[in-house]
Amino acid sequence: MNLFNIIDEIENVDQEIHERLNPRRAALKSFLNFGTKVTVAAMPFAIGGILNKAYGQTVPGDVKAILNFALTLEYLEAEFYTKGVATSGLIPSGAAVAALTTIRDHENEHVAFLKTALGSDAVVKPTFDFTAGGAFADVFSNYDTFLAVAQVFEDTGVRAYKGQATGLMSNKDILTAALNIHSVEARHASHLRQMRRARGGAAANLKPWITGANDTGIGSSVDAVYAGEDNKNQAGVDINQLNGVGGKISANAATESFDEPLTAEAVLAIVNPFIK
């Protein structure tokens, strides 16, 4: 089941959804304008109140569709961490288990919340392929691969969330919640990067923030996650030409200081291989 099959299922639940949304790709874009998964993962449970304040006591069908997309991506994350924590011998004992168990619990709590909010309109959980068609074949037998895929999910969420934030500008209540989510997503991504750095090897020089177009130590298979992160120009200003301490600001510092957004289409291309 891919994301477009999921749109079909939502249409089956709500026969009038096609009248309120544009064609399927536009519907997906509307979802990503609200935030991906990968962004709703850290959404405060107060979202129910926010939605009621923004839209009234009845949540309209198009908003339910958005939440169902979010639920689908939450299913992905929750199942990924749940399976990882439950896999014997995968995660070293100690702080790593505690950290990943906490993330697992967060994701499962978000799934439970969204399912409760949607009630009988909740989309059915799809089947996932966490190897992404074989790109990460040892994801549940190699701890370093597991952490790398977790980082891919979290870094994608941070960028996707930022990329779609402008779509929420007209509603300050939802935008405020979205900003809260974004900061938590960034903390998750940073923590996973620190965990990978502590492992050494290909990730020995990994930083809590993104440097350039791919500093993951994973390889070209995840380049799409970091596309554009080597940008050194902000609002028409070449950061490399600004004076810093001891000379011009370096390319690394310029790319690290500004996180770049991802488009809805780019997010779909990254996430879809993980959904059958």
What residue ranges do the domains of the chain occupy? 3-209+259-274
CA distance linking residue 222 with residue 87, whole number of Å: 24
Kindly report the number of other CB atoms within 10 A of residue 191's CB atom. Answer: 18
Chain centroid, CA 268 distance in Å: 11
CA distance linking residue 80 with residue 149, whole number of Å: 9
Average pLDDT over the chain, rounded to an integer: 75
**DSSP labels, 59-79:** PPHHHHHHHHHHHHHHHHHHH
Q: Which residue has the tokens 């488009």?
A: 263
CA distance linking residue 73 with residue 79, whole number of Å: 10
Query: Which of these, 246, 222, 17, lies nearest to 7 by C-alpha position?
Result: 17
By the 8 A CB rule, do 61 and 16 touch?
yes
Q: Which residue has the tokens 């906490």?
A: 102
The pLDDT confidence band at residue 143, using thresholds 50, 70 and 90, is very high
For the stretch 163-183, pLDDT in tens is 766 765 665 655 665 566 677
Q: Is the pTM of this model over 0.75?
A: no
Res 117 pLDDT > 80: no
Query: Which of these, 74, 77, 151, 146, lies nearest to 113 by C-alpha position?
Result: 74
Print burial letters for 74-85: b (CB count within 10 Å at least 16), e (below 16): bbbbbbbbbbbb
Give the residue with greater pLDDT, 29 vs 167. Answer: 167
Give the residue with greater pLDDT, 211 vs 219. Answer: 211
The pLDDT confidence band at residue 60, using thresholds 50, 70 and 90, is very low
For the stretch 248-275, pLDDT in tens is 999 889 888 888 987 777 877 888 899 8
Hey, is 218 helix, strand or coil? coil
CA distance linking residue 206 with residue 204, whole number of Å: 6
CA distance linking residue 60 with residue 213, whole number of Å: 40
Give the residue with greater pLDDT, 39 vs 74. Answer: 74
Range 3-209+259-274 has CATH code 1.10.3470: no
CA distance linking residue 199 with residue 268, whole number of Å: 30
53-62, 109-118, 133-142, 162-171: least confident range: 53-62
**Which residues is 247 bridged to in the sheet?**
244
End-to-end CA distance of the chain: 5
Please give the structure tokens belonging to residue 5: 């099959």
**CA dist 244 to 235, 257, 260, Å?**
18, 13, 21
Please give the structure tokens belonging to residue 230: 């080597």
Q: Which residue has the tokens 């500008």?
A: 169
**CA dist 250 to 193, 244, 257, Å?**
22, 8, 11
